[in-house]
Amino acid sequence: MNTKLTKSRQRAICSELGRVRLQLLYKASVHGFTGEAFHQQCDHRSPTVSVGYNNSGFVFGGYTKQPFNQSGGFVNDDKAFLFTFTGEQLLKYPVTGPENAVKMIGNSGPYFGEALVLVHGSKPVAYSSPGDDYNFTAEEMHGNDLNLTECEVYQVEESTELERPWRTIMWESEKREELIESIKSYKPTVSSVTQARVLLIGPVGAGKSSFFNSVNSVFRGHVTSQAISGSSSTSLTTQFRSYSVKAGREGKPLPIILCDTMGLEESKGAGLDIDDLNSILKGHLPDCYQFNPSAPLHPEAHGYRKSPGLKHKIHSVVYVIDSCKISIMPTGLEEKLDAIRRKVNLMGIPQLVLLTKVDEACPLVKEDVRNIYKSGYIKDMMQEVGSRLGVPLSCIIPVKNYSEELEVDTDCDILLLSAVIQMLRFVDNYFDELSDRMSNMQTKEVCPTSRPMTAGIDPSTSAFPTRISTDGSAGWSL
pLDDT value for 443? 67
| Beta-strand runs (E) in 147-276 | 148-158, 196-201, 239-246, 253-260
Residue length, the chain? 478
d(CA 186, CA 182) in angstroms, rounded, equals 6
Whether 456 and 462 have beta carbons less than 8 Å apart is answered as no
pLDDT value for 448? 55
DSSP structure string for 320-357: EEEGGGSTT--HHHHHHHHHHHHHHHHTT--EEEEEE-
pLDDT value for 5? 95
| Cβ-Cβ contacts under 8 Å for 266 (sequence gap 6 or more) | 330, 332, 333, 336
Of the chain, the end-to-end C-alpha distance in Å amounts to 56
In angstroms, how far is CA 452 from the centroid of its own chain?
47
Whether 70 and 39 have beta carbons less than 8 Å apart is answered as yes
d(CA 148, CA 139) in angstroms, rounded, equals 15
pLDDT value for 185? 95
| Cβ-Cβ contacts under 8 Å for 476 (sequence gap 6 or more) | 309, 310, 313, 434, 465, 469
Q: Which residues of 434-452 are buried (b: 16+ CB within 10 A; e: fewer)?
A: beebbeebeeeeeeeeeee
Among candidate residues 263, 303, 254, the one with its CA nearest the CA of residue 283: 303
pLDDT value for 298? 67
| Cβ-Cβ contacts under 8 Å for 435 (sequence gap 6 or more) | 189, 190
What is the maximum span of the chain, computed from C-alpha positions, in angstroms? 98
In angstroms, how far is CA 370 from the centroid of its own chain?
10
Whether 196 and 427 have beta carbons less than 8 Å apart is answered as yes
Q: What is the pLDDT along the chain (478 residues), one digit of tens a residue?
A: 889 999 899 989 999 998 888 999 999 999 999 999 999 999 999 999 999 999 999 999 999 999 999 999 999 999 999 999 999 899 999 999 999 999 999 999 999 999 999 999 999 999 999 988 999 999 999 999 999 999 999 999 988 888 889 999 999 999 999 999 999 999 999 989 999 999 999 888 899 989 999 999 999 999 988 765 544 444 455 677 888 888 888 889 999 999 988 788 766 656 566 777 888 899 887 777 666 655 566 677 777 788 899 999 999 999 999 999 898 888 888 888 998 899 999 999 999 999 999 999 988 899 899 999 999 989 999 999 999 898 999 999 999 999 889 899 999 999 999 999 999 999 999 999 888 877 777 666 655 554 433 333 333 333 333 333 333 333 333 3
d(CA 478, CA 460) in angstroms, rounded, equals 6
Q: Which residues of 48-71 are buried (b: 16+ CB within 10 A; e: fewer)?
A: bbbbbbbeeebbbbbbbbbbbbee
Q: Is the peptide bond before 308 cis (omega within 30 degrees of 0)?
A: no
Among candidate residues 385, 375, 332, 334, the one with its CA nearest the CA of residue 355: 385
pLDDT value for 233? 44
Residue 301's identity, in one-letter code, is A
Sorted by where each begins, the domain ranges of the chain are 7-158, 173-446
Q: What residues form DSSP beta bridges with 242?
A: 259
In tens, the pLDDT along 118-176 reads: 999 999 999 999 988 999 999 999 999 999 999 999 999 988 888 889 999 999 999 99
CATH code of the domain occupying 173-446: 3.40.50.300
pTM of the model: 0.66
In tens, the pLDDT along 359-408 reads: 999 888 998 999 999 999 899 999 999 998 989 999 999 999 998 898 99
Q: Which residues of 164-202 are buried (b: 16+ CB within 10 A; e: fewer)?
A: eeeeeeeeeeebbeebbeebeebebebeebebbbbbbbb
